[in-house]
Chains A and B, each alone.
Chain A
Amino acid sequence: MNPDLRRERDAASFDAEKLTHILDGGPERTRRRREIENLILNDPDFKHEDLNFLTRSQRYEIAVRKSATMVKKLRDFGIADPEEIMWFKRLHMIHFVEPVGLNYSMFIPTLLNQGTTAQQQKWLPPSKGLEIIGTYAQTEMGHGTHLRGLETTATYDPKTQEFILNSPTVTSIKWWPGGLGKTSNHAIVLAQLYTKGECYGLHAFIVPIREIGTHKPLPGIIVGDIGPKFGYDEMDNGYLKMDNYRIPRENMLMKYAQVKPDGTYVKPLNNKLTYGTMVFVRSFLVGEAARSLSKACTIAIRYSLVRHQSEIQPGDPEPQILDFQTQQFKLFPLLATAFAFQFVGAYMKETYHRINVDISQGDLSELPELHALTAGLKAFTSWTANSGIEACRMACGGHGYSHCSGLPNIYVTFTPTCTFEGENTVMMLQTARFLIKSYDQVHSGKLVGGMVSYLNDLSSQRIQPQQVAAWPAMVDINSPDSLTEAYKCRAARLVEAAARNLQAELKHRKSKEIAWNLTSVDLVRASEAHCHYVVVKIFSGNLSKIDDKPIQTVLKNLCLLYALYGISQNSGDFLQGGILTESQLTQVNQRMKELLTIIRPNAAALVDAFDFQDVSLGSVLGRYDGNIYENMFEWAKKSPLNKTQVHESYYKHLKPLQSKL
């Protein structure tokens, strides 16, 4: 092991292994996770070339091969628990990108949610046994987040009892669905339903797209891969164009709405379950933001401990670059953020499961807040993680730009999270809608509960401009609880400001919608402030649950850094709101610098606690053993450009140029 890293690990003030247990949710879960990871690491069937040196087609091929072996392996190893399958896939697929993935994550769940018993009997066994491979085709080239705008049509023909599917315009071509381009032979297609001359809105249809046995597109179907992307090379995101393509009436998913053989449309009774799926996926993405940022921090911090550069004092040996204050200032706030998001991810998972029990018992009361919270937190954490990963990459200097760092891959794989499952700005505005609704509710005299209960204080006029001066005395910059209060004030202030601006616009113009649009930047800011408060609250709330004193101390410091850094980056809000004074802000900045120094000796152990396997980091710079330079050299030698000493382009272009002289 690299001596710098060994020294750093020996000097830690806490036991990294115990922190890993906390992050995993208990020592038993850590044990089981590692057991599953070791199955993969020790299995020769899973060995493969470094993806970085392969073409897109080769990477796709490897992913398909892995999907095929995985089904068998999961059976062999007896892994069936959804979370354990997740652990398995994360290490197995590396980028967690799988062409067959949508069969499990979208095709089967949609059948379960929206298919009748008869439809489930027909389609579930073959899709679960992968006799057919399904995907889910929703987004179109010209339409994404706004579902009602989709243009694909399904027109019922009572004569033959069939639906006729059409992509009437170029913008209506299905675009982006994963696994559609080359892999799947069935798709659940969302289309506008027309029967008896009326449009009844979006419905889901099971559409065979490729012939069983030959895999060729069926007549009337144009299907293919949408071409090269920023990342997701292993995935065949696809397009689908349908031209008067007929499917039997029974292929419409009819658990809720129905079309009778004569074409009569029967309205759905109540359908709130799709809400639940959305909430689940988004809360899952919060956890993914935490994981991706944690990976990036692991790499950048290990590298900064091994890399030496320049001198702090002339004549001294070159220091580890993590000893430069500017480097600590780049990385430690991100490390603190990664831990904050880890706790938020765990909180979301827990809350989802808790509320899911309520929902199954018919209690939907908490669903609106959970829906609003997951939308906002998905956006907040993915935006933050997105820029955080990129900042980690840039903090690794030139080597961060090389694929050997693993950071470009982490970035390009993560960044679509800002767009998919709800574009982030749209998500923030959904949260804002809930905040404004709660604000209005408070104003009409009703109290609100949950994370927005601080809005109650606004109505009882406790935050009055003249009383604002009383606040600063209460903020203790060394207390996570007190800082949580400060964030709460900021959220309250920004929600109120947005609500007032909205009111003002309403007075000037007539339409509610135009007023909303003209306030939307304020509304997004209010949502961000609300989410920021929630994150600080969850992080600081977790500290008291930790028994191990040394771990509690180090996490408290990270929590303080997270909160103080956020204040320094948004100091305008805290000054403008009268929440902090100028001199307190000076203390915040001073304290932040002290925390950098305090956290510095534990940096190596903190990232060790994330417990990523080298394989899943995919990084030479982030190796556990820190032996980066020798391995970088080995890695580079594998590049296809190095297969021959003199590249053919030399003979083709350079040599003739020189001989002309």
Chain B
Amino acid sequence: MANQIYSTVPRSSWNKRVNPDLDIERKNKSFNVERLTNILDGGAEFTQKRRQVGTYLQGLETTATYDASTQEFVLNTPTLSATKWWPGDLGRTATHALILANLYSSGRCHGMHGFILPIRSLQDHSPLPGITVGDIGPKMNFEQTDNGFLQLDHIRIPRENMLNRFSQVLPDGTYVKQGTPQSNYLTMIVLRVQLLASEFIPALVKACIIATRYSVVRHQSKIKPSEPEAKILDYQTQQQKLFPQLATAYAFHFIDEIVIEFFKKSYQEIINGNITNLPELHALSAGMKAMMSDHCILGAELCRRACGGHGYSLLSGLPSLVTKVTASCTYEGENTVLYLQTARFLLKNFLQVQSSQSTPTLPQSIQYLASAGSGRCPAQRTSDFLSPQLYTEAFAHVAARLIRNSAQKLHNLTSSGIDQYVAWNQTAILHLQAAKAHCYHFTVKTFVESLKKLEKEPEIYQVIKRLCDLYALHGLLSNLGDFLYDGYMSRAQVELATEAYFSLLSLIRKDAILLTDAFDFSDESLNSALGCYDGNVYERLFEWAQLSPTNTEGNPAYEKYLRPFLKNNRSKL
């Protein structure tokens, strides 16, 4: 029942009408929404292709069934929703793909495994038979990462194409586990990275779309007594709930692209035997998995609660989004454990910085450890807090300080004779904080880098920059103590940052609907009475409620209990 897909097609009574409250939000565009959609998709042709297939379908339903008679695996995407939505070069360049699929052999399912699958002819680059793959058109002139999709119709691959570092299917179909814990790393990393785009980010994006659209259709109370009831999105408190989530959704979308890029580069190197990047890749994938799942869980639930009573109805689509994404805090590594893994990586590199005479070559994501010093935040006026360089440095400063501090405390304990494992446990909260600060810094820095690529499109650059600023300032103000602690920021600067933050809320308000439209999620994929594109919220709620089995299948409880009970009570008179 929870996952029932309702018909989102409007009925005759209201079919041609877009809710005027929503309609007006789409007038006076300050940027080209379609262009932003294209940027999010990685290019116009991928927008087009995606629309033909559907939106952000997940890939966990793909099956790989072992056929012992030919010693092959048969890969299949049995349903439309099993179509691989593969972030990366699949759309046009890749000849092989690493596919995660549920392995079946000897009649049993053994869970997710990796398979190497040739998808295109090495001669003419055309898709191999049985493979439907995203666009390979001749106009390969985009610099951004693109997205592709992949459908498999009973594709056969040799038994050897299963990644068997840690488990294996013998020729007769027997399933054998093997390998060392380290060899699990790579597969775990693959899974974590894939989860970001397939599970976490879409949940937050969908929740934002639903809550934001509902918030311009819903009216409540009056801001001024003389005026009609206001759209709830016009309340500052509602903006304060939703816009940081929207900014986070955009942040994560762009950050994911960069993570994927780094992942692919490193993956190729690792396959070729160069494992220099493995520790950083591992730490980054652990930290990003933990952070993105934490924030997407919180954000989706926040969006649900921002929809008041109707957010509690399954018809809003929000409870199902929340309950699905919330499982992510534990699978593929419990988040606290993952943060602590990132912390170990940070600590190790910090000690290296400390002990080496010359500046060591640090992995890219932690180069700030060498440069972040004891300076002060230079901001003098409100607008200074809209400088990406300024706030990126602030986050670097805090992260570096917290890492230094956790290392120091650990060192104090161990040098007082406490066993290093016990000492680690006694300082675990500090390591956790350090890792979180590091991840936050990474996301701010990365969002800023993505932003730079948009400079050639000033209108879009402007709206995305506001989101980037909001993302950073929201993080800063939510963790204010960390920035004030050592006097890096002054109390007067906090006032300036707060002012900058509030000014962003009202600027983003104007573009809010267009920014959610740009994600281009179909009504079917939102499956929400509150979040449909046409904004006919109440009509849908009423119609969908009437379809509930409780309304269509009579009332046995009345016949069984209420009727005799009421009758009995009356007859006592």
Contact = CB atoms under 8 A, between A and B. Distances in A.
Contact of B309 (A326, A419, A657): A419
Contact of B313 (A139, A227, A520): A227
Given A56-B550, A326-B428, A401-B326, A229 B481 contact: no
Contacts of A660: 154
Contacts of B491: 575-576, 578
B308 A419 contact: yes
B312 A419 contact: yes
Contacts of A511: 224
B330 A394 contact: yes
B422 interface: yes
A137 B426 CA distance: 55
Given A230-B314, A313-B419, A575 B485 contact: yes
A654 to B, nearest CB: 8
Interface string B141-166: 00000000000001000000000000
Contacts of A518: 236, 502
Contact of A129 (B308, B314, B331, B569): B569
Given A57-B549, A225-B545, A513-B224, A423 B308 contact: yes
Interface in B521-573: 538-539, 541-542, 544-551, 553, 555-558, 560-563, 565-566, 569-570, 572-573
Given A225-B545, A326-B432, A514 B330 contact: no
Nearest to A657: B78
Given A57-B549, A228-B315, A68 B562 contact: yes
B76 A657 contact: yes
B271 interface: no
B223 A57 contact: no
Contact of A228 (B104, B314, B330): B314
B219 A149 contact: yes
Contacts of A231: 312
Contact of B340 (A225, A326, A513): A326
Given A229-B313, A572-B479, A576-B494, A324 B484 contact: no
Contacts of B313: 226-230
B558 A229 contact: no
Given A312-B422, A415-B312, A571-B480, A130 B428 contact: no
B566 to A, nearest CB: 7
Nearest to A62: B557
B425 interface: yes
Interface string B406-424: 0000000000000101100
Contacts, number: 247
B334 interface: yes
A519 B427 CA distance: 40
Given A57-B553, A61-B560, A130-B565, A521 B480 contact: no
A390 interface: yes
Interface string A548-581: 0000000000000000000010111111101000
B319 interface: yes
Interface stretch (A169-177, A264-272, A357-365): A169-177
B274 interface: no
Interface stretch (A110-118, A140-148, A604-612, A634-642): A140-148
Contacts of A173: 538, 542
A44 B124 CA distance: 75
A260 interface: no
B336 interface: yes
B480 to A, nearest CB: 3
Interface in A233-255: 236, 239
Nearest to B571: A131
B191 interface: no
B561 A225 contact: no
Interface in A188-217: 212, 215
B48 interface: no
B128 interface: no
Nearest to B241: A425
A514 B237 contact: no
A149 B229 contact: yes
A582 B218 contact: no
B548 A228 contact: yes
B485 A571 contact: yes
Interface in B460-492: 477, 479-487, 491
Contacts of A311: 421
B329 A394 contact: yes
A473 interface: no
B63 interface: yes
Interface in A83-132: 129-132
Interface string B296-310: 000001000100110
A225 B550 contact: yes
Nearest to A316: B421
B220 interface: yes
Given A182-B555, A239-B542, A423-B308, A227 B565 contact: no
Contact of B542 (A170, A236, A582): A170
A324 B428 contact: yes
A61 B480 contact: no
A420 interface: yes
A176 B545 CA distance: 11
A520 B235 contact: yes
A611 to B, nearest CB: 30
A129 B427 CA distance: 62
A397 interface: yes
Contacts of A521: 236-237, 240, 502
Interface in A569-598: 570-576, 578, 582, 585, 593
A428 B486 CA distance: 32
A445 interface: no
Interface in B198-241: 218-225, 229, 234-238, 240-241
Contacts of A142: 218-219, 538
A429 interface: yes
B1 interface: yes
Interface in A277-306: none
Given A149-B221, A514-B223, A170 B573 contact: no
Ranked 9 nearest A-B pairs via Cβ: A572-B480, A571-B481, A225-B550, A227-B548, A230-B319, A146-B221, A228-B314, A61-B557, A575-B484
Interface of B: 1-2, 63, 65, 67, 74, 76, 78, 104, 107, 154, 218-225, 229, 234-238, 240-241, 301, 305, 308-309, 311-315, 319, 323, 326-327, 329-331, 334-336, 340, 419, 421-422, 425-429, 432, 477, 479-487, 491, 494, 502, 538-539, 541-542, 544-551, 553, 555-558, 560-563, 565-566, 569-570, 572-573
18 contacts: A64-B562, A130-B566, A130-B569, A144-B220, A182-B550, A215-B558, A225-B545, A227-B551, A230-B312, A394-B335, A419-B305, A423-B308, A425-B241, A513-B225, A514-B224, A570-B481, A571-B482, A660-B154
